[in-house]
Structure 1
Amino acid sequence: MVPYNVSLLMVWAFLGLTLAIGLCAAQKTTFRAYAVGDKRFHTNTLVVTVLATAFGGGVLMRNMPHIYDDGISCILYSFGTPLSFWIISLLGIRMDPFMNHLSIAETIGSVYGKYPRWITALLAICFSIGLVAIQINVVTSAIGMCIDSINPRMVTVWATLILISYAILGGVRAITTTDVLQFVTFIIIIALFIKFLFIKTGKSFLEVVWQLKQEEKFELSNFFQRDRNLFNVIQVYLAALFYLSPSILQRLYMASSPIQAYKVFLRATFFSVIILGCIVWIGLLVFVCHPTLSKTEIWPYILADRSPAYRGCMVICLLGMTMSTADSNLHTAATMVSHDIVGSIRNVPSNSHIHQLRWAKLTLLITGLLAMIVTAYYPDLYRLASFVISYGISLFIITVIPPFILAIFGFRGSTCTALMGMLTATLVYLVWEQWIQPKTGIGFGCFPLAANFLAMMATHYLLPQLDGKGWIGRSNQQKRMQQLIQAFKKYKKRIDLE
């Protein structure tokens, strides 16, 4: 038997187990149950699915080599994810007026009208397709590095078809169930991975730390030397706070109450720090083992002279990360097409029309196939990630997040107000990327976000508005929830002191 067949058998076993669990979770359901599971999820289950959705295969495959190569700069920038989770937890406690909604697009539409709703849905769909394409690319690269006895494209296609199958048949409940399996698998294998790398260094923990302290690029002072423009650093970090993806925000609508949403993302903040710490530690251990590698040589070095079982575990780890992210993004895109585009045009309730469920399943299939086509045009992971970030992720964040945050905090604007903010942010982004950034070296950061906020406020206060538009006070329910949180914090602090 060829040695690498052991790795292949492990991969097929993992895919078969994932499919079986996903199909077991599938059941006849309404569209509301398909989209948000009737909001009947345990808090810890939601925490796991948030983390599994956020940490895709690209985080390990792409970020770890950057940590190795760039040092302290990449390490500090990596911890933007926990900060964004913390921001979402603060937004979640104010979600009471929108908890019956099924997506962020519906929330935008309820406040600003149907055109901003359609724009939000379309941008979220493009965002999701791009992220799924990145995950497919990661799987292909991982299989190509670890298993030489098979065409990696074939396994990737099968993995994609498997996640599409259980996502179509089971909806968000099947996705959440498989996310638990995939996340637990990822955590176990990452722990073993760190252990093997630590043994490979042949040094104690203190010796590893001492060697890293001798390296200039891992010193905090080097961060300010490389990024001398403090203003640029600050505005990039501010922009990272608003990195709120549609698939992550969709988890807000799966919570049963604002209190549960707050707890979910607060816990996710803590655990995401631990996960990112593990990924950073992997990059540091690889550097200690061999400090002169290029980015393209890092993964071949890690896998060199490794047993088939080790390689199989590595592929399974990346499969778990990529599938848990891809299925959530596919589901988010399907929900928005059927509910926010088709459903809003036809004006049908989400809980009474079977056609929405059919549209969602058809969309999920088409979106998955489109992602595979995008991957075929951009086989290079770094080039694909750059394209998705520039024209998918960035446009969604700068156009959708500001009006969403304003709505959460009680602003009720007109359609014109939202559209002016979206248009202004897009123009600022394009001008900055094409002309300002090449000349100054300063990234666009939070400037389009600020332009969106300012344009919306200027439009609202300078143009005539209909009655009922403007800022509204917090509801009694929101005030009671805030009081409960404050009482809980005081009680916990008193227990800690005792």
Structure 2
Amino acid sequence: MHYLDVMGLLAYFILLGYIGYRSVKKVNSSADFAVAGNKITWPILFATLAASFLGGGASMGRAGQAFDHGYAFMFAASAFPIATVLTGIFIAPKLKRYIGAHTVGDIMEQQFGRYARLITGIFSLIFCIGILGAQALAVGTVFNAIIGIDITTGILIGMGVVLLYSTIGGMWAVIQTDVVQFLMLAIFMPITLLIGINEVGGAEQLIARLPDSHFSIMGDYGPGMFLSLFIAFLLGETLVPPYTQRALAAPDSRNAKIGYTISGVFGFLFYFVSSTIGLIALILYPDISPDLAMPELIRTALPLGITGLVLASLLAVVMSTADSYLNSASVIFVKDIYQGFINPDVGEKNKLWIERLVNLLIGIGAVVFALYATSIIDALLISYSLWAPTILIPFVLGVLLDLKCSKSAIGAIIAGALVTIVWKWGPWDLSGMTGLSALVAGVSANLLTFTVIYHTFKNSRATSLVTKNS
């Protein structure tokens, strides 16, 4: 890479470090570390949310899947921005009625009792580390493809920077860097697309040189596979801890609603951009690995001096998701597990330092996960199976309908987890036998169990215990 490109990349890293340094002065309490003092208005909320969910999967992962399957994967994955818009309209405003809440576990305890909080904290923590590992793998892939260093070294460099600013600056640093990263991806990803279209001879040539199947809604997916993917993206990342945390950081329900909804609308546009970049790479570099589609286009097609900035924007896309999940995981551990069940009387100052220490430890765990993941999308889909079949259904039902039955929530979480584990890792090929993915089977078991137990115990003393325990 030319020295001008290296300088652009170094400037980006220096900026992130400076933001982290400046943010230290704003972090005086656990609330500052977790939800930035509840001062995030909707324009900032929109930028930080968009930057958070448009990570390695939405950029390199979408480009790689479009490389293999055309726009079909984009159509399936569009379920996520659909879910985000619906969440923004119907659920995000209701989250602000939980005064002082920082985590999903805070809300689950108010609806379903303290043991629901503990189970939520454990599953949320595992889920966040899994997604964080996928982003760490994406960081290493970018460094490997464009600079030529091995993936492990790339993971260590990129995650080292994320650990630095997120540990010292907490949510204040995460949100400020997310805004910078959002602006970079909003500028440089479309530039990469336009340059790529020019490289293949224009939009007409792009269409003419691709197989017709790459423009169909389902491509070479069968109906069952397409539906499974659609449901995975519809439910797999909906209201996950970092995104819920963003809504809780808003000052009121109006800001939460507008910021959340607009970020979902933006997702449709970004998915189209990243998928089209994958199709351009298929024409220009048909023999590369799919996950390298976007980095390869950046490395070879962009003019001198622009490559470093676009590389920085690609890293920005990935790192903005990584820092969100890292911050969320540390807050979850301290609030839902440590303070909730180990040391309820921990002081505010000690809690802040514990959050910072846990931030470092979880980052190391995510790096280990990344070294064993086979691909970015595989890592995401594995992690999705830990969220939707366990926490999502009770959480949504509790917030939307104000249901309160601890037995139904805990039973649903356990049933969803067990069915998912058996379906995905059991000795039988249940997906092949039934045509249902592990995620769909787990979500179905979760919803059924919640419904049956709730209607069995809703009028009993068990329901009222939640109010007393909360």
- SS of 1:309's equivalent? coil
**1:426 Cα shift?**
1.7
1:455 aligns with 2:446: no
1:249 aligns with 2:244: yes
Cα offsets for 1:265-322 (capped at 9, x unmatched)? 1111211111112112212333454667663674575334765534423421221112
Q: Which residue of 1 aligns with 2:118?
A: 118
Name the CA distance, whole Å, in 2 between partners of 1:469 and 1:412.
Answer: 11
Give the counterpart letter for 1:101 in structure 2.
Answer: A
Cα offsets for 1:377-397 (capped at 9, x unmatched)? 44x435xx525532x331222
Cα offsets for 1:39-71 (capped at 9, x unmatched)? 111210010000111011232222212112212
1:316 aligns with 2:303: no
Cα offsets for 1:49-98 (capped at 9, x unmatched)? 00111011232222212112212421211212211212321111323432
- SS of 1:430's equivalent? helix
Name the CA distance, whole Å, in 2 between partners of 1:151 and 1:421.
Answer: 43
Name the CA distance, whole Å, in 2 between partners of 1:430 and 1:152.
Answer: 30
**1:181 Cα shift?**
0.9
What TM-score results when the alignment is normalised by the length of structure 1? 0.84
Of 18-27 and 406-415, the range deviating more from structure 2: 406-415
Name the CA distance, whole Å, in 1 between partners of 2:107 and 2:464.
Answer: 16
Of 119-128 and 308-317, the range deviating more from structure 2: 308-317
The count of corresponding residues between Structure 1 and Structure 2 is 458
Distance 1:63 1:305, change over 3 A: closer
Q: Which residue of 2 aligns with 1:39?
A: 38
Give the counterpart letter for 1:459 in structure 2.
Answer: I
Cα offsets for 1:115-170 (capped at 9, x unmatched)? 2211111111111112222222212221122113x566445424322222222222
Of 360-369 and 317-326, the range deviating more from structure 2: 317-326
Percentage of pairs with the same residue = 20
Distance 1:33 1:294, change over 3 A: closer
Q: Is the 8 A contact 2:291 2:375 kept in 1?
A: no
Cα offsets for 1:394-418 (capped at 9, x unmatched)? 1222110111011112343333222
Q: Which residue of 2 aligns with 1:494?
A: none
Q: Which residue of 2 aligns with 1:414?
A: 405
Q: Which residue of 1 aligns with 2:24?
A: 26
Distance 1:282 1:86, change over 3 A: same
Q: Which residue of 1 aligns with 2:212?
A: 215
In the TM superposition, 1:467-478 aligns within 5 A as: 469=464
**1:260 Cα shift?**
1.6
Name the CA distance, whole Å, in 2 between partners of 1:195 and 1:234.
Answer: 32
Q: Which residue of 2 aligns with 1:201?
A: 200
Cα offsets for 1:435-483 (capped at 9, x unmatched)? 31133444234332232122112112224722764999xxxxxxxxxxx
Name the CA distance, whole Å, in 2 between partners of 1:127 and 1:300.
Answer: 27
Name the CA distance, whole Å, in 1 between partners of 2:401 and 2:392.
Answer: 14
Name the CA distance, whole Å, in 2 between partners of 1:87 and 1:419.
Answer: 26
Q: Which residue of 2 aligns with 1:95?
A: 95
Pairing partner for 1:355 from 328, 350, 354: 350
- SS of 1:101's equivalent? coil
1:326 aligns with 2:318: no
In the TM superposition, 1:234-313 aligns within 5 A as: 234=227, 236-243=229-236, 244=238, 245-289=240-284, 295=290, 298=293, 302=297, 303-304=299-300, 309-313=305-309
Pairing partner for 1:438 from 418, 432, 447: 432
Distance 1:56 1:459, change over 3 A: same
Q: Is the 8 A contact 1:19 1:162 kept in 2?
A: yes
Q: Which residue of 2 aligns with 1:65?
A: 64
Give the counterpart letter for 2:201 in structure 1.
Answer: G
- SS of 2:389's equivalent? helix
Name the CA distance, whole Å, in 1 between partners of 2:452 and 2:52.
Answer: 36
Distance 1:300 1:125, change over 3 A: closer
Q: Which residue of 2 aligns with 1:344?
A: 340
Q: Which residue of 1 aligns with 2:7?
A: 9
Distance 1:465 1:347, change over 3 A: farther
Give the counterpart letter for 2:235 in structure 1.
Answer: F
In the TM superposition, 1:100-249 aligns within 5 A as: 100-148=100-148, 153-154=152-153, 156-203=155-202, 205-209=203-207, 212=210, 215-220=212-217, 223=219, 226-229=221-224, 233-234=226-227, 236-243=229-236, 244=238, 245-249=240-244
Name the CA distance, whole Å, in 1 between partners of 2:345 and 2:400.
Answer: 27
- SS of 1:98's equivalent? coil
Cα offsets for 1:153-207 (capped at 9, x unmatched)? 445424322222222222111110111111111222212211210110123x345
Q: State the superposition RMSD in angstroms.
A: 2.8
Of 320-329 and 28-37, the range deviating more from structure 2: 28-37
Cα offsets for 1:347-378 (capped at 9, x unmatched)? 7489x622211111111011111112223344
1:389 aligns with 2:384: no
Give the counterpart letter for 1:98 in structure 2.
Answer: Y
Pairing partner for 1:364 from 327, 352, 359: 359
Structure 1 unaligned spans of 5+? 473-498
- SS of 2:340's equivalent? helix
Name the CA distance, whole Å, in 2 between partners of 1:64 and 1:447.
Answer: 28
**1:334 Cα shift?**
1.0
**1:346 Cα shift?**
5.3
**1:209 Cα shift?**
4.0
Of 287-296 and 18-27, the range deviating more from structure 2: 287-296
**1:227 Cα shift?**
1.7
Name the CA distance, whole Å, in 1 between partners of 2:158 and 2:439.
Answer: 35
Of 447-456 and 13-22, the range deviating more from structure 2: 447-456
Name the CA distance, whole Å, in 2 between partners of 1:82 and 1:270.
Answer: 7
Of 396-405 and 410-419, the range deviating more from structure 2: 410-419
- SS of 1:173's equivalent? helix
Give the counterpart letter for 2:450 in structure 1.
Answer: M
- SS of 1:395's equivalent? coil
**1:36 Cα shift?**
0.7
Name the CA distance, whole Å, in 1 between partners of 2:435 and 2:16.
Answer: 45
Name the CA distance, whole Å, in 2 between partners of 1:145 and 1:129.
Answer: 24
Name the CA distance, whole Å, in 2 between partners of 1:270 and 1:305.
Answer: 29
Distance 1:444 1:470, change over 3 A: farther
Structure 2 unaligned spans of 5+? none
